[in-house]
Amino acid sequence: MKQGAYETGHYRNLFTEFDIDPKLVDEKVQKTWDQLFTNQYPDYQIYFETDDGMGYMVDTGNDDVRTEGQSYGMMMAVQMDQQEVFDRIWKWSKTYMYMDEGIHKGYFAWSCALDGTKNAHGPAPDGEEYFAMALFFASNRWGDKEAPFDYSKQAKALLHDCVHKGENNDGHPMWEPSNHLIKFVPEVDFSDPSYHIPHFYELFAEWANPEDHDFWKKAAEASRDYIRLAAHNETGLSPEYAFYNGEPNHIRGFGDFFSDSYRVVCNVGLDYEWFRRSNTPTEVNEKVQAFFKDIPVEDYRRYTVDGKPFEEKSLHPIGLLASLAMASLATTGELQKHYVEKFWNTPLRTGERRYYDNCLYFFSLLSLAGKFKIWK
């Protein structure tokens, strides 16, 4: 069994493997960062700074700031060695999104207005897990500073709450203790397959508080099994919400393959690149890539998990294509080549819906270029 990048320190550049000039790859990565994170390219920009030393990522389709976007921005910044941007985003998140009282004390409000006013007082676990991972990477890459930039301490405290909250009747944990599966939100008994990031949990098992190391090892294994369980046997498509037995949960219409679902194959791809475990569900990526092989990007839609299309078009077709390309980290042959080259020749999205598409786009670009790294 070949080893992943965690053991070897080697990250594949799939673009250069298909004869794209490495200089062009580096230039595209930098240009994409500039487009998203500077005011040089207003048609693409999703990161904005305040006069008081903070910064935020705007969900341009909903005109708000989300823990998803903030934590994504921090991960992008640490991968690009942009500590000032990282600290600005973290300071904004701690100032406006952090909840220091009530049943969600220790978590972050999932949505805020652009002025920092909380739109909701509940958390979304995908934000917390990305916050924690980005903070650990920041600690390892740059070193801890004074609070709130004592990165590793912040990450450990957050993960402690994610696991142990509720033990003293003080709220609900973000992972179900009985099966080690991440919840959609702390108060419910179902999951979101795209929240499952086993390669993060492998690292939490090393860097979180020692008493929780075993929990995170079990969470990594449980999540790999769950991704396989929730994906349709033939199409590989995953629902946005699913019960713990893997069956689609159609509450509020979220039991189909739609926007959240795109991230599943991204997570499988990066998990395989980093750790290459024997039980990584790479077949899910192969099935999903095969399903979309002959569908033009402009025809991407919402689908039932068994592959029946709705009339409703995809809200984020570039994001879906980016995900299919990132899936190539765990596939081979013509499917891998098809999506890597198709993605390379596709530009960033403009317009009001650009935020989610271009977040997935940049993560895919970093990953395929061998620049989405574990910082130990």
Give the residue numbers annotated as catalytic, written as ranges. Answer: 68, 260
Residues 279 and 11 sit within 8 Å (Cβ to Cβ) = no
Listed residue (341, 324, 329) closest to 372, CA to CA: 329
SS3 call for 177: coil
Strands 301-303 and 309-313: antiparallel
What does the DSSP 8-state code read for residue 309?
E
Listed residue (290, 280, 256, 269) closest to 364, CA to CA: 269
Residues 123 and 107 sit within 8 Å (Cβ to Cβ) = yes
SS3 call for 168: coil
64 φ/ψ angles, rounded to the nearest 5 degrees: -145, 180
303 vs 311: CA distance, rounded Å: 9
233 vs 228: CA distance, rounded Å: 8
SS3 call for 337: helix
Residues 206 and 280 sit within 8 Å (Cβ to Cβ) = no
> Can you read off the two tokens belonging to residue 116?
């920092």
Residues 219 and 276 sit within 8 Å (Cβ to Cβ) = no
Contacts of 80 (CB under 8 A, 6+ apart): 33
What does the DSSP 8-state code read for residue 183?
P
